[in-house]
């Protein structure tokens, strides 16, 4: 094991640089390229239960179309066994990737029903995944549901899935909980071996001419790293020993990876930077991280990890409310503007 070696979800990794879910990780050829270029582990794109349900519904409608009028329609379509489903494709991807990749393979699941979470989680484990990441991407849009209702439902999901698996479980969280630290701690008590911070909520756009809601996606920027940095720093010392923490969103280069490790992350996950720069960017980030460690006299990732976390910091308040006040006072009026101070809005 070298200077960059780390452990994540009980998996030994050659470095803390992980390829998070993206179109590149969902294809064997590009996944192999990511491994060759330095990714220490790969997270597959999510298996979405909605896609499976939608696919099944469309198939049933297609098979039933015209059957009430034409007897031959009942035997028109060939045997369904020759048409792999979305779930079958995904499980085959997990199986095939395990055959060709030497690095740890983390599958991802985003379900909608209580049965879907546990059923597909178990199938993914049986296909050969080394770990599973639950992507709790859900918008609380029902005004009848309280925050406590939402949290109880998601905690139940995590507990049920964790109890059904023998492989480690990570949970990918967004920041939108009333008491995030409390909820994160409950997740670990419920069986999560690790947390992935933060899940980006993609905001839909509106086409004013067609008056239709349209999908909109933008690659992450370096400034978005600040939110997961803050929360990993706060949580590192307050979660049970051995809890794995991954930072995702905003990691662009070796300096960003160093920041993630400084606040206590076990791994730094990248998607947008790799989509922009190609799989070879893993090698560049690794060299930058090593150069930073040399310049700052760190011998290993284990020595570096958590050295500026909430518990280790000389000024823990900098991660809390004091950051708000200091940020406002750090504003410098540009030369072409009249003096004044920004408001909190």
Tokens of 20: 């998070």
Closest CA to 21 of 48, 47, 45: 45
319 occurs within a structural domain: no
334 occurs within a structural domain: no
Q: What is the pLDDT of residue 235?
A: 96
CB 261 within 8 A of CB 292: no
User: What CATH number is attached to the domain comprising 87?
Assistant: 3.20.20.70
In tens, the pLDDT along 234-267 reads: 999 999 999 999 999 999 999 999 999 999 999 9
- Domain count for the chain: 1
Q: What is the pLDDT of residue 62?
A: 42
Q: What is the pLDDT of residue 59?
A: 39
Question: What does the pLDDT average to over 182-186?
Answer: 97
In tens, the pLDDT along 292-312 reads: 999 999 999 999 999 887 666
Instruction: Print the domain residue range for 310.
Output: 6-314
pTM of the entire predicted model: 0.83
1 occurs within a structural domain: no
The answer on pLDDT for 30 being more than 80 is yes
142 occurs within a structural domain: yes
340 occurs within a structural domain: no
321 occurs within a structural domain: no
Question: What does the pLDDT average to over 217-232?
Answer: 92
Q: Look at 46 and 203; give whichever has higher pLDDT.
A: 46
212 occurs within a structural domain: yes
32 occurs within a structural domain: yes
Question: What does the pLDDT average to over 164-172?
Answer: 97
The answer on pLDDT for 338 being more than 90 is no
pLDDT tier at 63, thresholds 50, 70, 90: very low
Residues above pLDDT 90, as percent of the chain: 66
The burial class, CB within 10 Å (0-12 / 13-18 / 19+), for 131 is buried
- Taking residue 242's Cβ as centre, other Cβ atoms within 10 Å add up to 10
CB 275 within 8 A of CB 223: no
């Amino acid at each position: 094991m070298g200077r960059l070696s780390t452990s994540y979800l009980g998996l030994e990794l050659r470095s803390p640089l992980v390829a998070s879910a993206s179109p590149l990780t969902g294809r064997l050829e590009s996944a192999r390229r990511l491994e060759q270029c330095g990714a220490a582990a790969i997270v597959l794109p999510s298996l979405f239960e909605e896609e499976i349900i939608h696919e099944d519904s469309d198939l049933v409608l297609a098979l039933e179309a015209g059957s009430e009028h034409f007897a031959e329609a009942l035997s028109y379509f060939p045997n369904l066994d020759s048409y792999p489903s979305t779930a079958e494709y995904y499980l085959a991807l997990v199986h095939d990737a395990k055959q060709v990749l030497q690095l740890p393979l983390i599958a991802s699941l985003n379900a909608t029903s209580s049965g879907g979470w546990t059923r597909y989680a178990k199938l993914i484990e049986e296909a050969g995944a080394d770990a599973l990441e639950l992507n709790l991407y859900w918008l609380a849009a029902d005004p009848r549901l309280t925050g406590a209702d939402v949290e109880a439902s998601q905690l139940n999901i995590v507990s049920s899935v964790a109890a059904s698996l023998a492989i480690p479980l990570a949970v990918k969280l967004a920041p939108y909980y009333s008491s995030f630290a409390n909820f994160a701690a409950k997740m670990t008590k419920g069986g999560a071996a690790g947390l992935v911070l933060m899940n980006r909520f993609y905001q839909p756009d509106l086409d004013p001419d067609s008056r239709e809601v349209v999908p909109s996606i933008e690659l992450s920027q370096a400034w978005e790293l600040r939110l997961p940095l803050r929360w990993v720093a706060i949580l590192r010392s307050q979660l049970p020993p051995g809890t794995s923490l991954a930072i995702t969103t905003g990691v662009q280069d070796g300096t960003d990876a160093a920041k993630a490790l400084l606040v206590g992350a076990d791994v730094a996950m990248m998607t947008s930077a790799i989509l922009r720069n190609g799989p070879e960017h893993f090698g560049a980030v690794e060299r930058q991280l090593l150069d930073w460690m040399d310049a700052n006299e760190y011998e290993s990732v284990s020595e570096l990890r958590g050295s500026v976390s909430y518990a280790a910091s000389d000024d823990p308040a900098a991660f809390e409310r004091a950051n708000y006040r200091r940020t406002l006072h750090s504003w410098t009026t540009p030369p072409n503007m009249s003096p004044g101070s920004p408001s909190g809005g």
